[in-house]
A and B are shown apart, each in its own frame.
Chain A
Amino acid sequence: MEKLILPDIPHLRHIDVYEMRGGYQALKKALGMKPDDVIEEVKKSNLRGRGGACFPTGLKWSFMPKQTTKPKYLCANGDESEPGTFKDRAIFEFNPHLFIEGAIIAAYAMGVKTIYTYVRGEYAKWITLLQKAVDDAYAKNYLGENILGSSFSIELYSHKGAGAYICGEESALMNSLEGDRGYPRVKPPFPAQNGLWGCPTTINNIETLANVPIIINKGWEWYSQIGAPKHPGTLLYGISGHVNKPGIYELPTGVLLTDLIYKYAGGVLGNKKIKAVIPGGSSTMWLRGDEIDGVKMDAESLKAAGTAIGTGGVIVMDEDTDILKILTRITHFYHHESCGQCTPCREGCGWMEKILNRFLEGEGTMEDVDLLLDVANNIEGNTICALGDAAAWPVQSFIKKFRDEFERRAKKTPSMKKPVKPPHLVTLEV
């Protein structure tokens, strides 16, 4: 399969090379189409968001109001902070113009005049690389006033984050852009009605937008044939952990997880067995090593396997891994990154971390496992944004699949302390 997002072309990040390879032709084609037809094309292609939620992109675009007196905005989400994920960085480095072209087409389709690219602050080096590409695009009038002689004007600004995982959540991203703390907003209202500064806004992942020029160039029929029918296209799978060749592999959706690990990433370090795999970034549910045979890497297949494609960040753990410690580290991460708005997440994540630490210190009991599950269950679905769910899912799936890990580590002599019961709602006698 030919690579579409990150083809092996030297110096593709330079605008001249990009143009020579057919770059910005999709934009020219799109400008000759009606905006609604561009949205229709993307809708039919079945492109789904690459940021984790897999929402149909064309449908998202169609939510933007046609008649409005307010300015409309597009936010390109380059916050990329999900542990195990490092794909958007590669786009900024190797093929930034594909993203820029996609963003301009998206803006044209939705009638947007201003694009903000929100990039995590740690990516300072990649922000510079992106800015160079943006400047070059301005110089060639792909951006700016009356682009390519059309009546359409468009600005693209980069906005640097400052270290907060939560700002990858679309509404937190908007708050951060507005100069606030990155607090997610209650939905509804959805961003298409009430986004940045109360105006219609669409937020798309960098990789999602990079797919757009390909769809416009080759047509939706061609694109929708690639990979899994309900989740077509290629994905930038990031594979890390105990494999011989970690890195980004661009492959069609629906590739076998075992192929990804053994065929592409060179197998497990030291030819060891696999104990566990996280298939789509730290938020997704864990798979046991004996469960991965036949599992395909696309939204529907992974859903059927009880987990999710997420960002396509695969983390492989070999048989010698202290996976309880890894789970504790992940839970620490969510505790640290919880914005603190919702009690279940703010308190629950810390509570889960404490319980897990008890096991690492040999002080955990099997009652603690029930308590841990109870806390996780009370976080899930009870918070403004999905960070709470993202913290609960790894814990829940771990307890389901690796209960024996807790049993092995639990304190042998029964604790003298009474198990602490979670503070359930108390019925008041009135």
Chain B
Amino acid sequence: MLSEQNLKKLEELKKRYPTTKALLLPVLWMAQEQFGWISLDTMKYVADLLNLPFHHVYGVVTFYTMFNSKPIGKYHIQVCTNVSCMLRGAENIRDHICRRLNVGINETTPDRTFTVTEVECLGSCGTAPMVQVNNDEYYDNLNLEKVNKLLEDWSKK
């Protein structure tokens, strides 16, 4: 169930679009922010909420890379390895993070603190290499020292 606050927000959003289907992405965002990921049950709920077929919701969730259809760790570290970052040593950053956390790409640490994924260009090419954590802050101009510091900080929290 979406929180009361989110349902209220949804009512507001309805005024913006001529169809309810257009609310799908905004609602999925709300759901993901609330639950951390989008389960099959959440998809069914969203489908009922917006009066859409379940398969449509499923198709949309799986099409967009930012929607997590599996649970993820508290810190979702997304390493850009596209051209500009790669030229600036993104692979080292990626491998270093994986080694330090002892996980592979698309894996979560056993304590559910970290998930590491490799992502496509995040538009931070001038400050490469970079990672984005959750749907939040960009950490750019990275080197191994900075990465170590960040990982330590997050581990403590």
Residues on A facing B (Cβ under 8 Å): 71, 80-86, 88-89, 120-125, 155, 157, 159-165, 176-182, 197, 238-242, 246-248, 278, 282, 313, 315, 317, 321, 325-326, 329-330, 333, 336-337, 339
Count of inter-chain pairs, beta carbons less than 8 A: 141
Chain B residue numbers with a CB within 8 Å of A329 are 81-83, 86
Identify the interface centre among B64, B65, B66, B87: most chain A CB within 10 Å of its CB.
B87
Interface residues in B, total, Cβ within 8 A: 42
Distance from A314 Cβ to chain B, minimum over Cβ atoms (Å): 10
The answer for the CA separation of A182 and B119 in the assembled complex, in Å, is 18
Name the A residues within 8 Å of B21 (CB-CB): 178-180
Docked-complex contact A164 and B64, CB < 8 angstroms: yes
A121 and B66 in contact (CB under 8 A), knowing A179-B19, A240-B126? Answer: yes
For A240, list chain B residues within 8 Å (CB): 84, 87-88, 125-126, 128
The verdict on B121 contacting chain A, using a C-beta distance below 8 Å, is: yes
Q: Is the pair B120, A333 in contact by a Cβ cutoff of 8 Å?
A: yes
Q: CA separation between A89 and B132, bound complex, in Å?
A: 15
CB neighbours of B103 from chain A (8 A) = none
Hey, what's the 0/1 contact readout for B52-90 against A, CB within 8 Å counting as 1?
Answer: 100010011001111100000000000001111011100
Any chain A CB within 8 A of the CB of B25? yes
Provided the pairs A326-B86, A329-B86 are in contact, do residues A161 and B125 lie with their beta carbons within 8 angstroms? no
- Do the beta carbons of A177 and B83 come within 8 Å of each other? no
> Which of these, A120, A182, A315, A339, contacts B84 with CB under 8 Å?
A315
Nearest-Cβ distance from residue B144 to partner chain A, whole angstroms: 18
Does B111 lie at the interface of the complex (its beta carbon under 8 Å from any beta carbon of A)?
no
Contact A124:B83 (CB < 8 A) given known A86-B126, A179-B60, A241-B88 = no
Q: Are B83 and A164 touching (Cβ within 8 A)? A: no
- Docked-complex contact A162 and B86, CB < 8 angstroms: no
User: Whose C-beta in chain B lies nearest to the C-beta of A317?
Assistant: B87
Mark B17-46 against chain A: 1 for CB-CB distance below 8 A, else 0: 011011111101100000000000000000
Report Cα–Cα, A359/B16, bound state, in Å: 51
Chain B residues with CB below 8 A from A339, complex form: 63
| A124-B135 contact in complex given A162-B66, A240-B87, C-beta closer than 8 Å | yes
